[in-house]
Amino acid sequence: MTQPHPLNEEGRALVERLLRDMTLSEKAGQMTQPEKNSVKQGDVTRLSLGSVLSGGGGNPDPNTPHAWREMVGAYLHEARSSRLGIPLLYGVDAVHGHNNVVGTTIFPHNIALGATRDADLVRRIGRATALEVAATNVRWNFAPAVSMPHDLRWGRTYEGYGQDPQLVSELASAYVQGLRGAAWNDPTAVLPSVKHFIADGHTSWGSSTRVDRNALDVDRTLAIAQMGEGFMELLDQGAWQLDQGDSRIDEATLRAVHLPPYRAAIEAGALNVMASFSSWNGLKMHGHRYLLTDVLKGELGFEGFVVSDWEAIDQLHPGDYHRCVADAINAGVDMVMVPFDYEKFIGTLVAAVQCGDVTQERIDDAVRRILTAKVVLGLFDIPETDPALLNVVGCAEHRALAREAVRKSLVLLRNEGNVLPLSDNTPTVLVAGSAADDMGAQCGGWTITWMGGHGPITPGTSILEGFQRALPGRVNYSADGQVDARYPVGIAVVAEEPYAEGMGDRAELRLDAQQLRMLARVREQCDRLVVVLLSGRPLIITDELPQWDAFVAAWLPGTEGDGVTDVLLGRAPFTGTLSVDWPRTHADLPRTDASASLWDLGAGITTVRTAAD
C-alpha cells in the first residue's frame, strides 16, 4: 500500500539540502532522543540533537504549564543555535490529556474511551489534548497506544481502547485526526506516536525478562519509579511478568488482531510509530527488520519515522552495545530514545557507520524520515507555539468535554430493582470508600508522575465532590464505611492502586481486603448498595457481585469525577458498553476459546429514556 508522500517538492528539496549539508555526527545527533534530566546545557546545540523527551514525571520545578513552556522553549532555542539550526521535536506522554502537568485537563484513560465507542468524542479529546500540549511548546505526543490487551493481567491494559481491532482502529484514527486538527503544519498540531509496534499486548505470562532481581541497584529506569521496599512486594504479586515479554502468536493472528490500528492511524496521517519492547516468537521487536521495515515501511507504505522505546535497544544484546545499535538501526529504528548516555549512543552509531556495520544509506533514510516529519509539522517556519495557548490549559470547555467522556464511558453491569439512576428526591445518600475522594485513584497511572499517586495530585472534582455539589446537604461520607445510621442508598467507590506498565502486571485481579471490609460495612447499613469501580481493567468480582444491588465500571475517569454523579443521578443516561471481555475467574485469564466471561465485550445496561418512559 503506498501512502501519498507527505511532502511537496519544496519540502523535499529542503530535506535533501540538509542531508547534503549534515555531517555524519550531526545525522547521528538527529537520531538521538535523551531524557531532559540527562541533557547537559548546550548539548542540544553542540550535538544537533533531534529530540528531547520528558519521561513519565519528567517535570520542571515548579510543575506548572508556564514552567513547562519555559523548559521546552530553552531546548527549542538551543536547537535553533546549532550549526544548521534544525528545529528540535520535544516529546511527552500525553496519553490522557497533558497528564504530566499539574492543572491540565485529565481525560479518561483509553479503556474508558473504548467503552464510549464514540469516535467523534475521541477526535475532540485529541484536539483538546493537542491544544494543551502545544501550549507548552511540545509538538510530539507518544500516543495513541493501540495496544490490544490479550491477558488483562497486563499493567498496560488501560492504555489501549479495547480488544476489538475494528473499534481500536476507528478510535486511533479519530485521535490522530484530533491531534492534527486543521493541518499538520498548524502550530497547534501535535505529532502522534502510534504504539507499541507490534503485538505489545499479546505477551505470555512469565515471558518478560525486563527485571533482574539481582541487578535492581543498577536499574536507573526502575529507580525513577521510587518504589522502595514496596517493589519486591509488587514483584511477588506478578509485576513485570507480562510487560515487555514474548508474544507467541502466528503471523495470521498478528496481522488480523494487531496490524489494523496501525494501518488506520497511518492512513490518518500518523508520521511516527514507537517500537515495542516486546518480542514476537522470541525475536525482539527493536531488532525485527521484517516487521519494522518490510511490513511497516514497505507493505503499509509508512513514510514517517520509527522511534525506539526507552533504552529498549540495550535489551537486544546486553553487554554488546555496538551490536545493539547496529541491529536496531538496520532493523528500521530511525530515532533512539536514549534516556541517559546519549553521547555514547552517538559515538557508537558513528563508529558503526565508519566500520561498515551500518550503511550511510540507512542513516540518510532515517534522517530523511525525521526531517520529513519536522517539515510537515512546519517547525522550520514556526519554531514555537503561541503563548496565548496557555489560557486553554485546564479550561472549562476542556473540562466539560472530559466530563462528557466520563458520562459516556460508564458501564452499568448490574442494576437489581432499577436502583439506578437514583431519584432526585432521595433523602440522604451515603458515599463511602477512600477512593470516592481521591483524585489520584480516579486518574490512575501516567498522571503527574509515571506511576500516578493518591490524594489531590492535580485540580479536579472527586466523585464525592460531585455528589456534594449535586445534592447539597444530603450526602454523608465515610471513607471506611463505618456509620451508625441506616441509609436507603449507599454508593461505595472502590479502586485499584495506581500503576504503570509492568509495575501493574498482577497475578490476581481482585479488590484488597480493606476495601472488601468497607463494602461489607456499607452493605449492613444500606437498603440498596451501589458499587462504583475505578480500575484500569476488569477485576474478578464474581463472588462479591450478588451482594451488590448495582455495579458500575467507571474505569479511570480523570479529573472530572462529576461525570459519574451526572449519570448515577439520572442527569445523563448510561450508554457505555464493555470494550473488553470481563472474565469470570482467574482461570479464565488469559482469554482462550474455553474462557468463561462474566460479561462479554459489548455488554452494558443502557438507561436511555425512551418516549414511552
Task: Give the residue numbers marked as catalytic.
Answer: 309, 501
Contact string (CB under 6 A) for ligand GLC, positions 346-385, x = contact: ----------------------------------------
Q: Which is nearer to ligand GLC, 55 or 466 (CB)?
A: 55
Question: Which residues within the stretch 443-502 sit at the binding site for ligand GLC (CB under 6 A)?
Answer: 501
What is the nearest approach in angstroms of ligand GLC to the Cβ of residue 142?
A: 3
Q: What is the DSSP letter of 61?
A: S
Q: Which is nearer to ligand GLC, 310 or 487 (CB)?
A: 310
Is 93 a binding residue for ligand GLC by CB under 6 A? The answer is: yes
Question: Residue 395's CB: how many other CB atoms inside 10 A?
Answer: 15
What is the nearest approach in angstroms of ligand GLC to the Cβ of residue 1?
A: 26
Q: Which is nearer to ligand GLC, 195 or 362 (CB)?
A: 195
Question: Which residues within the stretch 304-333 sit at the binding site for ligand GLC (CB under 6 A)?
Answer: 309-310
CB 577 within 8 A of CB 603: yes
Q: Phi, psi (5° rounding) for residue 239?
A: -55, 140
Q: Which is nearer to ligand GLC, 278 or 468 (CB)?
A: 278
Residue 62: cis peptide before it, omega within 30 degrees of 0:
yes
Ramachandran bin of 231, using left for φ above 0, alpha for ψ from -120 to 50, beta for the remaining angles: alpha
Give the whole-angstrom CA distance, residue 554 versus residue 409: 7
Beta-bridge mates of residue 247: 280
Give the whole-angstrom CA distance, residue 415 versus residue 566: 17
What is the nearest approach in angstroms of ligand GLC to the Cβ of residue 505?
A: 13
Contact string (CB under 6 A) for ligand GLC, positions 35-74, x = contact: --------------------xx------------------
What is the nearest approach in angstroms of ligand GLC to the Cβ of residue 235?
A: 18
Which residue matches cell numbers 547521528? 28
Q: What is the DSSP letter of 610?
A: P
What is the nearest approach in angstroms of ligand GLC to the Cβ of residue 312?
A: 8
Map 246-305 to HEC letters. EECCCHHHHHHHHCHHHHHHHHCCCCEEEECCCEECCEEHHHCHHHHHHHHHHHCCCCCE
Residue 196: cis peptide before it, omega within 30 degrees of 0:
yes
Of all residues in the shown chain, the one whose CB is closest to ligand GLC is 142
Give the whole-angstrom CA distance, residue 92 versus residue 290: 28
Q: Which is nearer to ligand GLC, 195 or 263 (CB)?
A: 195
What is the nearest approach in angstroms of ligand GLC to the Cβ of residue 339?
A: 8
Q: Which is nearer to ligand GLC, 266 or 307 (CB)?
A: 307
What is the nearest approach in angstroms of ligand GLC to the Cβ of residue 168?
A: 16
What is the nearest approach in angstroms of ligand GLC to the Cβ of residue 501?
A: 6
Which residue matches cell numbers 432499577? 418
Looking at 75, 107, 142, 175, which residue binds ligand GLC (CB under 6 A)?
A: 142
Question: Which residues within the stretch 1-40 sit at the binding site for ligand GLC (CB under 6 A)?
Answer: none
Q: Which is nearer to ligand GLC, 453 or 583 (CB)?
A: 453
Give the whole-angstrom CA distance, residue 71 versus residue 186: 22
Q: Which is nearer to ligand GLC, 29 or 144 (CB)?
A: 144
Long-range contacts of 171-174 (CB under 8 A, 24+ apart): 171/110, 171/113, 171/114, 171/119, 171/122, 171/144, 172/144, 172/146, 172/261, 172/264, 172/265, 172/268, 173/119, 173/264, 173/265, 173/267, 173/268, 174/119, 174/120, 174/122, 174/123, 174/126
Beta-bridge mates of residue 491: 431, 530
Q: Which is nearer to ligand GLC, 195 or 398 (CB)?
A: 195
How many CA atoms, within 13 angstroms, populate the side-chain half-sphere of residue 437? 14
Q: What is the DSSP letter of 508?
A: -
What is the nearest approach in angstroms of ligand GLC to the Cβ of residue 159?
A: 8
Which residue matches cell numbers 482461570? 587
Burial class (CB in 10 A: 0-12, 13-18, 19+), 72: buried
Binding-site residue total for ligand GLC (CB under 6 A)? Answer: 8
Contact string (CB under 6 A) for ligand GLC, positions 554-593, x = contact: ----------------------------------------
Question: Which residues within the stretch 185-214 sit at the binding site for ligand GLC (CB under 6 A)?
Answer: 195
Which DSSP string corresponds to 140-182? EE---B----SSTTSTTGGGS--S-HHHHHHHHHHHHHHHHTT
Interface with ligand GLC (CB under 6 A): 55-56, 93, 142, 195, 309-310, 501
